[in-house]
Amino acid sequence: MRSVIPILTMVAAIVVIWYGAAIGMNAQWARDQAARAGTTLSTSELIADTWSQERPKLPAPHQIVAELWKTTAMMKPTSKRSLVFHGWITLSATMLGFVFGTGAGILLAIGIVHSRSMDMGVMPWAIASQTIPIIAIAPMIIVVLNSIGITGLVPKAIISAYLSFFPVVVGMVKGLRSPDAMQLDLLRTYNASKPQALWKLRFPASLPYLFASLKVGVAASLVGTIVGELPTGAIRGLGARMLTGSYYGQTIQIWSALFAAAILAAGLVGIIGLVQRLTLRRMGAV
Binding region for another protein (CB under 8 A):
182-183, 185-192, 196, 200-201, 204, 207, 283-285
Instruction: Name which of 56 and 171 has its Cβ closer to another protein.
Output: 171
CB of 126 to another protein, least distance (A): 28
Instruction: Name which of 34 and 192 has its Cβ closer to another protein.
Output: 192
CB of 209 to another protein, least distance (A): 14
Instruction: Name which of 214 and 222 has its Cβ closer to another protein.
Output: 214
CB of 269 to another protein, least distance (A): 23
Instruction: Name which of 148 and 182 has its Cβ closer to another protein.
Output: 182
CB of 154 to another protein, least distance (A): 37
CB of 108 to another protein, least distance (A): 24
> What is d(CA 138, CA 107) in angstroms, rounded to the nearest whole number?
24
Instruction: Name which of 5 and 182 has its Cβ closer to another protein.
Output: 182
